[in-house]
Structure 1
Amino acid sequence: MQISKGVEWAAHAAALMCGLPPGTGLRAEALARYHGVPKAYMAKQMQALSKAGIVHTARGKNGGYRLARSADAITLWDVMRAIEGDRPAFTCTEIRQNGPCGATPDQCRQKCAIAAAFHAAEAAFRDHLQSVSLVDIAAGVLADSPPDHLRDVGRWLEAEAVALG
């Protein structure tokens, strides 16, 4: 399974918004600049997060994005689903019915061991992402970052945050 850059960028943007003062947001261009990614691509990810109800969008001169609900109520699965959708990563094509020794559809009523293993792995992956909230991510950043870096981030947020109406 390969997770797109969009998921990574959206997760980083959402995690950064945990540090915003109440009533403020960040413009997509500021989020793109902070992460060193193309503005148009970041805007696309933010639109997907908005459509999924993860961020709130305010338009206009003082427009920007902020989390739409508390950070402890947003999981990495929410972010991934907003960007990638919730289609299964593995789709069984019943290849065991092909070829000269192919099984009959009647013999394939139960999932084969391969499909079962992939589905179990995907469920475990999804369950883990559902157990990790943005609060957990923010706590990890706070624990792992040097104080001077955290001060720089705080100053940057203060300078870039816009009051949302």
Structure 2
Amino acid sequence: MKLGDGVEAAIHCAAMLAGVDGDGTLPGNVMAVAFGLSPSYLLKHLKALTGARILESVPGPNGGYRLARAAEKITLLDIVLAIEGREPAFRCGEIRQKGSYALDPSAYVKPCGINVAMLKAERAYRAALAETRLSDIVADFNATADQRIVAASCAFVALNQRPQNSKQRLINERKMP
């Protein structure tokens, strides 16, 4: 199974946003530069994360993105499903019922063993992602990564985050349904 590159970008951006202070934000183009990605490519994935209510998009001069909920409440499965969709990675086309030796459909009462095995693996894969929280990834990074990388990441966020002032926060809250 191969996940799209957008999954990696989405998880890295969410992890970066976990380091933003309070109601602050990071602009999408700043995160694109941080990871060497095309801004339009990354914005497509940030929009998907916003649609899934993993991120919040804040308009205005101090706008950008921030986590929509605490990192402890976001799983890797949430992010993967936001980017890749909810459909299983394996989709059985029942090709055993097609082709030159296909029999009458009544011969195929038992589910396809390949499909059963693949869906079992999918459930295990999703369960593992559901157990891993964004906060776990961030904590592991802070504890085990080379401290130069941790320091550089923290400095990047501190330098580029946009503070949200209380007046702007009130305006944004009034716009929410």
Per the normalisation by structure 1, the TM-score is 0.94
Deviation at 1:88, TM superposition (A): 1.6
Partner of 2:66: 66
Q: Give unpaired runs (5+ residues) of structure 2.
A: 170-177
Q: Which residue is equivalent to 1:9? A: 9
1:152 correspondence with 2:145: no
Percent identical across equivalent pairs? 36
Question: Mean Cα displacement is larger for which, 25-34 or 140-149?
Answer: 140-149
Aligned counterparts of 2:6 and 2:56: Cα–Cα separation in 1: 18
For 1:26, what is the secondary structure of its paired residue?
A: coil
Offset at 1:73? 0.9
**Mapped partners of 2:90, 2:153: distance in 1:** 39
Counterpart Cα distance in 2 of 1:137 and 1:30: 21
Output the TM-score relative to the length of structure 2: 0.88
Is 60-69 or 102-111 further displaced after alignment? Answer: 102-111
Gap regions ≥5 residues in structure 1: none
In structure 1, what is the Cα distance between the partners aligned to 2:101 and 2:147?
Answer: 64
Say which is worse superposed, 109-118 or 59-68, in terms of deviation.
109-118
CA distance in 2 between counterparts of 1:152 and 1:111 reads: 52
Q: How does 1:8-157 map to 2 (within 5 A)?
A: 8-157=8-157
Q: Distance in 1 between matches of 2:156 and 2:146?
A: 16
Q: Distance in 2 between matches of 1:104 and 1:145?
A: 58
Give 3-state SS (helix, strand or coil) of 1:88's partner: coil
May I ask how many residue pairs the two structures share in their alignment? Answer: 165
RMSD: 1.3
- 2-structure distance, mates of 1:105, 1:74: 44
State the AA in 2 paired with 1:121. Answer: A
Instruction: Provide Cα deviations, 1:6-61, integer angstroms capped at 9, x if missing partner.
Output: 11100100011111111111000111111111111111111110001000110121
Q: How many Å separate the matches in 2 of 1:101 and 1:149?
A: 58
